[in-house]
């Protein structure tokens, strides 16, 4: 599908336009080697970040969904994977995966293509960061077990509460006991370096905490800073402004467009800030720095998956919609 991708200049940035195929989101922008880049003209940086998925936890098509968008995706054999990022050190080929989604194999394969090398079979990536214990963000860990990859002490950065959840509950505790993952605890507001020169600061955000707390990630490379905040209940107080302070590109929670797309569900049980609310708060930033605010984690019912004119309107307002395969140097 690379021929369907087009680069668009958005202010001082280069953006990858969202692609429509038969009225729905295309799965990606072709092979990773042909993926479109968000680098500004003359952009430099030691690290390359790549978007490996943009959907909510269940992806598209979605189990139990009989809407036309899901049915069309099934007929056409298309899939949009859950939100995940990969980071590659361009100097060494070392790779880091942010989130272990249920579709981890395909996402790591794409990351390998971009990194230019495959890791050792028992170390498919060099490190893993998990933001919370909802299935689209950690359930892929099951592939690290003896039934599949049997990974060897895979460094896995998690909060203390997330670590306790994994240690105390099966089948995840077997991964810890057998040394298939090596838990490394992190705390909100305290930076850590999962690879030399890459600085990540976890920031605790309000989100359903059935099993763990939830963190956003401020990721600082050699040239730019990226924010990953795929899940949050609401932008309380000045939380959004604090998260964006000093950030060049932000990937934000875009689960619901305006909340009306999930009739029959109690949104108080699955809260997310509607895209329309976020756009209202960030209108000035989007106008001044078009393309720097990029939504992902789209629910399968989100009309941005299926309504081309609505997508164009969001982009006309200066906001970006993340595409699988897009990448940037930072």
- Give the integer Cα–Cα distance in Å for 230 and 201: 15
Residues shown for the chain:
330
The CATH number of residue 254's host domain is 3.60.15.10
Could you give the number of structural domains in the chain?
1
CB 83 within 8 A of CB 76: no
- Give the integer Cα–Cα distance in Å for 55 and 180: 27
- Give the integer Cα–Cα distance in Å for 107 and 136: 13
- Give the integer Cα–Cα distance in Å for 303 and 58: 16
- Give the integer Cα–Cα distance in Å for 47 and 89: 5
CB 271 within 8 A of CB 287: no
Assigned token pair, 51: 């978007």
- Give the integer Cα–Cα distance in Å for 98 and 140: 11
- The string of pLDDT tens digits covering residues 182-201 is 999 999 999 999 999 999 99
Task: Render the burial of 88-97: b for 16+ CB within 10 Å, e for the rest.
Answer: bbeeeebbbb
**Which residues of the chain fall below pLDDT 50?**
1-34
Assigned token pair, 63: 């189990």
- Give the integer Cα–Cα distance in Å for 273 and 233: 6
Q: State the pLDDT at residue 259.
A: 79
- Give the integer Cα–Cα distance in Å for 133 and 117: 30
Q: State the pLDDT at residue 118.
A: 64
Q: State the pLDDT at residue 35.
A: 60
- Of 268, 260, 318, the C-alpha closest to 294 is 318
Q: State the pLDDT at residue 6.
A: 30
- Give the integer Cα–Cα distance in Å for 51 and 324: 5
Query: Domain limits at 295?
Result: 2-329
- Of 233, 301, 235, 240, the C-alpha closest to 267 is 233
User: Is residue 317 classed exposed, middle or buried when 0-12, 13-18 and 19+ CB atoms within 10 A define those classes?
Assistant: middle
Q: State the pLDDT at residue 54.
A: 98
Helix (H) or strand (E) holding 201: strand 198-205
DSSP 3-state assignment of 214?
Answer: strand
Q: State the pLDDT at residue 269.
A: 75
């Amino acid at each position: 599908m690379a021929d369907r991708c087009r680069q668009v200049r958005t202010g001082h940035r280069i953006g990858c336009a969202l692609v429509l195929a038969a009225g729905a989101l295309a799965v990606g922008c072709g092979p990773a080697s042909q993926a479109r880049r968000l680098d500004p003209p003359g952009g430099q940086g030691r690290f390359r970040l790549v978007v490996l998925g943009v959907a909510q936890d269940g992806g598209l098509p979605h189990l139990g969904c009989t809407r036309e968008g899901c049915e069309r995706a099934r007929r056409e054999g298309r899939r949009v994977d859950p939100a995940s990022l990969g980071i590659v050190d361009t100097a060494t080929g070392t790779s880091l995966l942010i989130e272990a989604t249920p579709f981890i194999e395909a996402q790591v394969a794409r990351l390998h293509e971009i990194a230019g090398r495959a890791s050792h079979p028992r170390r498919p990536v060099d490190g893993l960061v998990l933001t919370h214990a909802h299935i689209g963000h950690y359930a892929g860990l099951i592939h690290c077990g003896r039934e599949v990859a049997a990974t060897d002490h895979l460094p896995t950065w998690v909060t203390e509460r997330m670590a306790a959840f994994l240690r105390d509950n099966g089948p995840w505790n077997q991964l810890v006991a057998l040394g298939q993952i090596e838990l490394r605890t992190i705390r909100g507001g305290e930076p850590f370096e999962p690879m030399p020169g890459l600085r990540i600061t976890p920031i605790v955000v309000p989100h359903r905490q059935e099993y763990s707390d939830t963190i956003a990630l401020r990721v600082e490379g050699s040239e730019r800073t990226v924010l990953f905040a795929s899940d949050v209940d609401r932008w309380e107080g000045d939380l959004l402004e604090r998260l964006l302070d000093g950030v060049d590109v932000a990937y934000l929670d875009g689960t619901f467009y305006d909340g009306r797309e999930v009739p029959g569900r109690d949104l108080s049980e699955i809260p997310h800030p509607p895209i329309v609310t976020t756009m209202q708060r960030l209108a000035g930033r989007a106008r001044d720095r078009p393309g720097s605010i990029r939504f992902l984690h789209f629910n399968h019912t989100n009309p941005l998956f299926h309504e081309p004119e609505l997508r164009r309107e969001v982009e006309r307002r200066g906001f970006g919609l993340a595409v699988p395969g897009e990448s940037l140097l930072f």
